């Protein structure tokens, strides 16, 4: 990047908020996705929307790529600066601007950490439900860009169900307000278009989210299955008994064995699957649903343990929380995917993943949000082993195409970024891809915002 | 419209399904400005997505305006053929294609009545929650195009929360598929949500996949009337602050109650300043305890009278009264200007008071009712169509209500008002419209200014 442009950037945000030293640039060359790295030319840390607007005007004039970044925890390489340019690091914009317990909304800046918002609203008896695995490090701006999910998606939905208003800066520097503090807003739903757009349509500078009352009561249980088919049927039966658990998770045998070898929770290493479930809500409904759910699990040959205390509840969820960290310890590189299928296809998908692991001789542990069809086939491998990586990429491809074949989607909660880009036409078809590119073209004609992500290259003129 | 075009459309959908008779067209005529009206040039009734696609491809090539339509129960004239052209009538596409109980989803054609879908899924113990309940002729296609709210939005959300996937014919005839049956799907831009609520201006929906929910075991309703609007407003705040979530929380004001005439439910006085219709649903013990809690809260907030509807029959008579509101208002005077206010909940009472003073100041009857729990209010301004002066006062009242809603941090929507969005937001919306429909053939110019 030309020295003159660095000077202009410094004039906008102040000297100390522009970094160009190699040591700094390296830190921003990657995110939590293995296999993608590239150096940006500059890191810019704006203080507010006005500064972002000026930076974007400059970048748009000079056609410099801009990558918005919060905590960099994303799993689809969405924040990697593949074409160089500017990383727009929003970390200074980290204030909770308002919590309104009567209207049940909060207004936050993008770099607020998800968990910090939950701590701030707790005293009003409220929660902000989206809880990605990285809840203690992920920034809300990032979760909006990726439309992050979490463990409670089945009952509570994902990030987009809670975002009702946005302030964003468009590629040409215009500051725009979409939606607001109300449930509905007239006009096209630009809030929903921008949520999950992976930083390709604008830079989000303020977020208005909806809050909900914290559940008064909850109950967790664990069920152990010798046969994966029984576990799959139990999941379907829970829903068909009109129970919508807050959380309904599954772990396969590979994951169970791995977790047990690292954390020694006394998990049955021979069982094919474990289901972990929690119902929440008012006391009576929870108690009634828990009894119904326990029966459904037993009727499907599950060995059920119901948590009788907060401590036992924590033990149930310790196993689930240990899944990804334990798998990640096995080998140097971890690919945690999020291929998602309609709920009824979860058993088919689990079986397919097991077969794919055998076929390509790779190690895959699968766990995830069975209740909403969002599985995490996690491949553990070593990026340095070129031969094995060939097999890993083939296995990944087959996992994605299998999910699509089952009526699923490439991504349930991590986004497309770069990792799954290749398969987008399989899901969206030519019409879908053209339409999405025309939206990108309409709002970012110079293709400066996170170029190459989500849609691939070549949408510019 | 040229005869060769009529012939070409007839070839696509069959001559029986292209209507150009003057009497038929007159039924669809709309007031463009005071005194002048506009008829569409043809009514076309396609049978499937392929026919819709071919009709649009031709209309696009010839730059003919197209207005998609179900039964025309839209209350805001949002689909009126103000530029002539074609009305694309989707009534023939009325099949329920699939009910998938394992995935809690249903796929339907756009002309399916929401009440028919609910009757069908009820058999499996399920429901499609965002049923406006007020209109027996509302189609799923129309509700999706408008992103309709419903009386149960407080607990269950609005239409867009239930649209999982769409088949959409674009302006140039291409067929786009978005979403599907996945509860979580973050791949690509959310075209499903962009399309939902786009009022037919980005494409024509030909198939809609909706999310279903387990139906509640029990319901119970309360009708609570108040001597002052302020008391009703305070009671609403107290109910919501107590974190009991009613499935419905509706308000009707005095002007609305009076308009009900014979439909007024037993136990409600025409002297009441406002009444709240409150419904709880869930398992029986919870419904009972929530109802008891709500009753106690109402009693500590100067409620004048409470009617509890226990049986299904009693409940449906209360809802019948709520459903009667719009028809009653529509016939009580010759011209009704309906407006939508969407305001932060805590400002709802202020808004009610402000509307009262606006009515008084302009010497108008303004009836206000709506989903007070969500901060969604409808104010109907009732005028004599022949009274030019009254219509002009109505116009000032609409402006004043809009100004109040915006000042309170809310939104305002009315077909009789300019787009109130900011300049940058309008820019972004226009860029999207231009990208989807460069010839502007889909539902063009549907923001009429009057007064």
B183, A100: Cβ pair inside 8 Å?
Answer: no
Q: Where are the beta strands (DSSP E) in B30-131?
A: 30-33, 36-38, 42-44, 66-69, 86-89, 96-100, 105-108, 126-127
**B146: which chain A residues are within 8 Å (Cβ-Cβ)?**
none
Average pLDDT of chain B, as a whole number? 89
Which two three-digit tokens encode residue B111?
């002309």
Nearest CA among A362, A340, A313 for reference residue A158: A340
Among candidates B158, B177, B435 on the partner chain, residue whose Cβ is nearest the Cβ of A429:
B177
Is residue B369 within 8 Å of B378, Cβ to Cβ? yes
Which two three-digit tokens encode residue B199?
């009022």
**A441: which chain B residues are within 8 Å (Cβ-Cβ)?**
435
A17-72 pLDDT, tens digit per residue, is 999 999 999 999 998 888 889 999 999 999 999 999 999 999 999 999 999 999 98
- B82 pLDDT higher than 80: no
Among candidates A100, A183, A412 on the partner chain, residue whose Cβ is nearest the Cβ of B375:
A183
B170 touches chain A (CB under 8 A): yes
Say what the pLDDT of residue B34 is: 53
Say what the pLDDT of residue B419 is: 63
B190, A105: Cβ pair inside 8 Å?
Answer: no
Range in B60-74, B177-191, B402-416 with the lowest mean pLDDT = B402-416
**B197: which chain A residues are within 8 Å (Cβ-Cβ)?**
188-189
Contacts 24+ apart (CB under 8 A), A149-153: A149/A369, A149/A372, A149/A374, A149/A412, A149/A413, A149/B184, A149/B186, A150/A413, A151/A247, A151/A249, A151/A320, A151/A369, A152/A246, A152/A247, A153/A369, A153/A371, A153/A372, A153/A374, A153/A413, A153/B183, A153/B184
Which two three-digit tokens encode residue A440?
């990108």
**Complex ipTM value:** 0.92
Question: End-to-end distance of chain A based on CA atoms, in angstroms?
Answer: 22
* Ramachandran class of A35: left when φ > 0, alpha when ψ lies in -120 to 50, beta otherwise: left
Say what the pLDDT of residue B36 is: 65
Among candidates A182, A412, A424 on the partner chain, residue whose Cβ is nearest the Cβ of B411:
A182
A461 pLDDT tier (thresholds 50, 70, 90): very low
Q: Shortest Cα distance from A189 to chain B (angstroms)?
A: 5
Say what the pLDDT of residue A103 is: 87
* Ramachandran class of B14: left when φ > 0, alpha when ψ lies in -120 to 50, beta otherwise: left
Say what the pLDDT of residue B75 is: 62
Say what the pLDDT of residue B333 is: 62
CA distance B19 to A117: 58
Say what the pLDDT of residue B449 is: 33
A220 pLDDT tier (thresholds 50, 70, 90): very high
**B100: which chain A residues are within 8 Å (Cβ-Cβ)?**
342, 344
C-alpha pair distances (Å), B8 with each of B5, B12, B42, B54, B275 = 5, 7, 12, 10, 55
A298-308 pLDDT, tens digit per residue, is 999 999 999 99
Q: Averaging pLDDT over each range in A131-140, B161-170, B315-324, which range is the top one?
A: B161-170
B122 touches chain A (CB under 8 A): no
**A167: which chain B residues are within 8 Å (Cβ-Cβ)?**
none
Q: Shortest Cα distance from A159 to chain B (angstroms)?
A: 10
Q: Shortest Cα distance from A3 to chain B (angstroms)?
A: 32
- A330 pLDDT higher than 60: yes
Residue of B nearest to A289 (CA): B283
B435, A176: Cβ pair inside 8 Å?
Answer: no
Number of residue pairs across A and B with CB atoms under 8 Å? 236
- A458 pLDDT higher than 50: no
Q: Shortest Cα distance from A155 to chain B (angstroms)?
A: 10
Is residue B97 within 8 Å of B104, Cβ to Cβ? no
B255-302 pLDDT, tens digit per residue, is 999 988 888 888 889 999 999 999 999 999 999 999 999 999 999 999
Is residue B156 within 8 Å of B212, Cβ to Cβ? no
**A164: which chain B residues are within 8 Å (Cβ-Cβ)?**
none
- B448 pLDDT higher than 50: no
Average pLDDT, integer, range A342-354: 91
Average pLDDT, integer, range A268-286: 94
Q: Which residue in this structure is represented by tokens 């379907």? A: A236
Which two three-digit tokens encode residue B36?
């002048």
Residue of B nearest to A177 (CA): B425
A-interface mutation test, from B76, B180, B184, most A Cβ less than 10 A away: B184
Dihedral of CA atoms B419, B144, A103, A176 in degrees, nearest 10, equals -40
Name the DSSP class of A309: S
- B83 pLDDT higher than 90: no
Average pLDDT, integer, range B360-370: 93
- A111 pLDDT higher than 50: yes
CA distance B19 to B25: 8
Q: Shortest Cα distance from A314 to chain B (angstroms)?
A: 26
CA distance A381 to A362: 8
**Alpha helices of A178-265 — where are they, by DSSP H?**
190-194, 228-240, 253-263
Residue of B nearest to A188 (CA): B198
A459 pLDDT tier (thresholds 50, 70, 90): very low
A237-250 pLDDT, tens digit per residue, is 998 888 999 999 99
Say what the pLDDT of residue B151 is: 84
B323 pLDDT tier (thresholds 50, 70, 90): confident
**A172: which chain B residues are within 8 Å (Cβ-Cβ)?**
none
Say what the pLDDT of residue B447 is: 41
Say what the pLDDT of residue B266 is: 83
| Whole-number percent of chain A with pLDDT over 90 | 76
- B351 pLDDT higher than 50: yes
Residue of A nearest to B175 (CA): A431
Higher pLDDT, B93 or A149: B93
C-alpha pair distances (Å), A336 with each of A86, A269, A408, B348 = 27, 22, 17, 46
Is residue A156 within 8 Å of A222, Cβ to Cβ? no
């Amino acid at each position: 990047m030309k020295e003159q442009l660095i000077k202009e950037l410094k004039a906008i945000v102040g000297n100390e908020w522009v970094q160009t030293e190699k040591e700094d640039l390296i830190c921003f060359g990657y995110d939590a996705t293995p296999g993608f790295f590239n150096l940006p030319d500059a890191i810019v840390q704006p203080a507010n929307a006005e500064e972002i607007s000026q930076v974007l005007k400059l970048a748009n004039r000079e056609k410099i790529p801009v990558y918005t970044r919060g905590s960099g925890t994303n799993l689809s390489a969405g924040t990697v600066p593949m074409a160089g340019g500017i990383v727009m690091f929003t970390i200074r914009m980290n204030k909770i601007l308002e919590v309104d317990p009567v209207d049940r909304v909060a207004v936050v800046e993008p770099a607020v950490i998800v968990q910090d918002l939950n701590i701030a609203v707790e005293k009003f008896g409220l929660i902000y439900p989206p809880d990605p695995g990285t809840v203690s490090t992920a920034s809300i701006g990032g979760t909006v860009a990726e439309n992050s999910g979490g463990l409670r998606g089945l009952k509570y939905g994902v990030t987009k169900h809670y975002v009702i208003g946005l302030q964003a800066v468009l590629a040409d520097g215009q500051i725009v307000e979409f939606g607001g503090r109300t449930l509905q807003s007239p006009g096209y739903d630009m809030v929903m278009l921008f949520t999950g757009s992976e930083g390709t349509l604008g830079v989000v500078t303020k977020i208005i989210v909806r809050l909900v009352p914290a559940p008064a009561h909850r109950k967790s249980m664990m069920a152990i299955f010798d046969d994966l088919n029984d576990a799959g049927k139990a999941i379907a039966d829970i829903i068909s008994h009109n129970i919508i658990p807050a959380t309904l998770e599954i772990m396969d045998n590979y994951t169970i064995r791995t977790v047990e070898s690292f954390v020694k929770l006394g998990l049955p290493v021979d069982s094919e699957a474990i289901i972990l479930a929690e119902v929440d809500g008012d006391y009576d409904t929870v108690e009634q649903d828990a009894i119904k759910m326990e029966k459904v699990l037993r009727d499907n040959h599950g060995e059920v343990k119901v948590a009788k205390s907060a401590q036992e509840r924590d033990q149930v969820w310790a196993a689930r929380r240990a899944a990804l960290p334990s798998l990640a310890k096995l080998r140097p590189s971890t690919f945690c995917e999020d291929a998602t299928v309609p709920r009824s296809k979860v058993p088919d998908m689990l079986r397919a993943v097991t077969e794919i692991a055998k076929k390509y001789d790779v190690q895959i542990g699968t766990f995830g949000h069975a209740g909403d069809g969002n599985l995490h086939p996690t491949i553990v491998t070593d990026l340095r082993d070129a031969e094995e990586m060939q097999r890993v990429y083939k296995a990944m491809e087959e996992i994605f195409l299998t999910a699509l074949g089952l009526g699923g989607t490439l991504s349930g909660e991590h986004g497309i970024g770069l990792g799954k880009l290749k398969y987008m036409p399989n899901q969206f078809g030519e019409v879908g891809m053209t339409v999405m590119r025309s939206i990108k073209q309409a709002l970012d004609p110079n293709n400066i915002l996170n170029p190459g992500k989500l849609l691939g290259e070549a949408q510019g003129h | 419209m040229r005869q060769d075009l009529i012939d070409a459309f007839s070839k696509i959908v069959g001559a029986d399904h292209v209507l150009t008779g003057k009497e038929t067209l007159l039924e669809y005529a709309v007031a463009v400005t005071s005194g002048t009206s506009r008829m569409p040039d043809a009514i076309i009734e396609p049978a499937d997505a392929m026919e819709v696609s071919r009709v649009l491809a031709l209309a696009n090539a010839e730059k003919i305006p197209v207005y998609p339509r179900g039964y025309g129960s839209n209350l805001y004239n949002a689909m009126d053929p103000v530029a002539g052209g074609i009305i694309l009538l989707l009534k023939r596409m009325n099949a329920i294609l699939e009910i998938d109980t394992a995935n809690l989803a249903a796929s339907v054609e756009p002309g399916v009545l929401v009440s028919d879908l609910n009757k069908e899924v009820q058999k499996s113990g399920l429901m499609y929650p965002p049923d406006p309940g007020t209109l027996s002729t509302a189609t799923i296609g129309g509700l999706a195009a408008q992103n309709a709210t419903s009386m149960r939005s407080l607990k269950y959300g609005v239409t867009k929360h239930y649209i999982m996937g769409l088949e959409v014919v674009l302006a140039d005839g291409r067929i786009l598929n978005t979403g599907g049956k996945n509860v979580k799907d973050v791949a690509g831009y959310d075209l499903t949500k962009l399309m939902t609520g786009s009022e037919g201006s980005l494409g024509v929906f030909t198939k809609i996949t909706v999310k279903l929910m387990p139906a509640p075991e029990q319901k119970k309703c309360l009708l609570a009337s108040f001597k002052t609007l302020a008391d009703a407003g305070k009671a609403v705040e107290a109910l919501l602050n107590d974190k009991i979530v009613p499935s419905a929380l509706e308000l009707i004001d005095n002007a609305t109650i009076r308009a009900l005439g014979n439909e007024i439910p037993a136990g409600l006085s025409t002297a009441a300043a406002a009444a709240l219709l409150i419904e709880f649903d869930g398992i029986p013990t919870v419904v009972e305890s929530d109802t008891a809690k709500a009753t106690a809260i109402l009693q500590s907030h100067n409620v004048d009278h409470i009617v509890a509807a226990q049986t299904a029959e009693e409940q449906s008579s209360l809802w019948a009264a709520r459903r009667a509101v719009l028809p009653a208002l529509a016939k009580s005077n010759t011209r009704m200007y309906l407006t939508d206010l969407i305001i932060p909940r805590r400002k709802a009472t202020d808004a009610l008071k402000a509307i009262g003073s606006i009515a008084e100041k302009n010497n108008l009857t303004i009836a206000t009712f709506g989903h007070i729990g969500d901060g969604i209010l409808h104010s109907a301004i009732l005028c004599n169509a022949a009274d030019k002066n009254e219509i002009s006062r109505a116009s000032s009242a609409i402006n004043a209500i809009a100004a109040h809603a915006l000042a309170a941090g809310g939104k305002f929507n009315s077909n009789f008002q300019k787009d109130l969005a900011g300049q940058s937001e309008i820019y972004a919306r226009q860029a999207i419209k231009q990208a989807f429909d460069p010839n502007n053939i889909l539902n063009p110019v549907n923001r009429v200014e009057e007064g």
